[in-house]
Amino acid sequence: MLKVGTELHEYLLLRAGVEGVPYELSASWLADQLAQLCLDSGSPTLRAFGVYIEDEQLMYDDQEPSPGFFEAWKRSKSLRV
């Protein structure tokens, strides 16, 4: 869960900056919370801060600051790899 926690952290940090809101969570805290959610819910799909996660992959964000924001972030991430 650390990988997806780190990815979610990077995305939420960017989203918070665009939205102009404070962000003080850490990647390790997010990873711990996601692991607990998996254990508690048993569901293959998790939702955290509006971001849907399946199979340890960020899938979409129903709270993105503007339409296409999440997909543009994913595309820019894949170009950096």
21-54 residues labelled b (16+ CB within 10 A) or e (exposed): eeeeeebeebbebbeebeeeeeeeebebeebebe
3-state class percentages of the chain: helix first, strand second, coil last, to nearest 5? 55, 15, 30
Q: Tens-of-pLDDT digits for all 81 residues of the chain?
A: 788 899 999 999 999 999 999 999 999 999 898 888 877 666 678 889 999 998 889 999 999 999 999 999 999 988 765
pTM given for the model? 0.87
Amino acid at 71: E
